[in-house]
Structure 1
Amino acid sequence: MTTLRILAAGSLRGVWPDLMAAFHHQTGLTTDTQFGPAGLLRQRIEQGERCDLFASANLHHPATLLQRGLATDTGKFTANSLSLTARRDVVTKNDTWLSLLQRDDLRLATSTPLSDPSGDYTWQLFGKIEQAYPGWGERLKQRARQLVGGIDSLAVPTGELAAQWLIDQKHADLFIGYASYAPRLIHHSHLQVFLIPAPFNIQAEYAWAMLTHSAVPLATFLSSAAAKTILRQHGFT
């Protein structure tokens, strides 16, 4: 039986085993998945790497593959948002997510825009902050250390969460990343997770791009009620 080859956004790594187990139980089909920043995965596909389905953390990359004739169809299947993780010992009693971002004494880390949709969404967040508080958003863009998700970024060890690892390794005091990681991050007593309120937060939409007809059952499954239940259990919306 053919094994479906998948390239998937790194932020899906935690939920993907449960999704693929349910997919296998439902269809009997097997899958082999490689994870990485969605922008870099798209480049690999454009350079000729074969896969049956690409699962992206944004709509843009699948749409680009469709426009270039490399994908046969695309579809949305889940969503995410952003949160701020802080080293607990730098947080004062009155701190909020916004006051922490204002503090120049704290090192802020992010993903890398263009290579990683998480970085793109973070830059959109900075844009919203700039609109509300002129000068702040641009200052954050200058301060932010783009430490993960790029071609030459630090390699976060398998199984580690970027926010936790970067803070533990003293590369950063704050990290902006996906809210879907919050249920796992809150179990680390030395970290504090701040949810970013709706007027500022970003709707991160995930989409698949189907590159071969073999991926039709998987694309269908990702939009099913069973898949949505699993995704919600892992912090996606």
Structure 2
Amino acid sequence: MNSIRVLAAGSLRLVWPELIAAFKAHQRMNVETEFGPAGLLCQRIQQGETCHLFASANAAHPQTLLTSGKALSVAVFTHNQLCLSVKTALISASADWLALLTDPSLRVATSTPQSDPSGDYTWQLFDLIEQHYAGRGNALKDRALQLVGGPKSPVVPAGEMAASWLLENDRADIFIGYRNYAARLKNLKTLTVLDIPSPFQVQADYALAICQAEAQPLADFLLTAQAKRILQQAGFSC
């Protein structure tokens, strides 16, 4: 039986087993997957680590591999958005998402830009806030605690979500992360999930890079209607 190795963005961890199970129902192929911040995974591939397929939380890293000759092709296969997770005790009737986010007394945690696409998308959010409210977006960049996805970030325990782990252990008051976790986070009474409205919302484009031809069947499956349904049910958008 053929076997392929996948390096995949950490935000795909929860939905990946269902995707692979659906794929293997049609293909006799073993899939070994390792998850991590997409920026750091991309660096490993560039440095020569064996990878048949790279599933990134942005399109920039796969495109970098394609440009450098480390990938055969690239395709966007799903999308995500950002949301805020806030300690419920901090929520009041008069405090909307922006008032909470820009309150200088509250600790705002993010992923790490460049290492983790979630951090890059968050910095795009800060830029949008800066365009509408001069000074506020730049102040958020200065205040943000980059606690996830960096080479020296604290390790989130297996089975935990970064947002709940950081907030429930009092490492932050607000966490900006991916919306695909929202349904699970909303089950926690200690946390409240707030959507980010347009025109501030940032779309996260997830792209795959075929690094070796053996991964073509899996890449093809991830672009099917069946895979898109699985991703949508898990909180992604297609």
- TM-score class, shorter-chain normalisation, is over 0.9
Is structure 2 residue 191 aligned with structure 1 residue 191? yes
Letter in 2 for 1:23: F
SS in 2 for 1:4: strand
Taking structure 1 as the reference length, the TM-score comes to 0.99
CA contact (8 A) 2:128 2:137 kept: yes
- For 1:1-237, list aligned pairs within 5 A: 1-237=1-237
Letter in 1 for 2:126: F
The alpha carbon displacement at 1:2 in A equals 2.1
- 1:2-42 residue CA offsets vs partner (Å, 9 max, x unmatched): 21100000000011000000001121222010000000000
In the alignment, structure 2 segments of 5+ residues that lack a partner are none
Letter in 1 for 2:161: L
CA distance in 2, matches of 1:95, 1:32: 45
Taking structure 2 as the reference length, the TM-score comes to 0.99
SS in 2 for 1:183: helix
After superposing on structure 2, the runs of 4+ consecutive aligned residues of structure 1 that deviate more than 6 Å are none
SS in 2 for 1:114: coil
| RMSD, aligned CA | 0.6
SS in 2 for 1:74: strand
Letter in 2 for 1:40: L
Letter in 2 for 1:121: Y
The alpha carbon displacement at 1:133 in A equals 0.2
- 1:152-199 residue CA offsets vs partner (Å, 9 max, x unmatched): 001001111000000011100000000111011000011000000121
CA distance in 1, matches of 2:185, 2:28: 34
CA distance in 2, matches of 1:39, 1:96: 32
Letter in 2 for 1:160: E
CA distance in 2, matches of 1:29, 1:99: 50
The alpha carbon displacement at 1:230 in A equals 0.2
CA contact (8 A) 2:84 2:97 kept: yes
Letter in 2 for 1:105: S
CA contact (8 A) 2:74 2:207 kept: yes
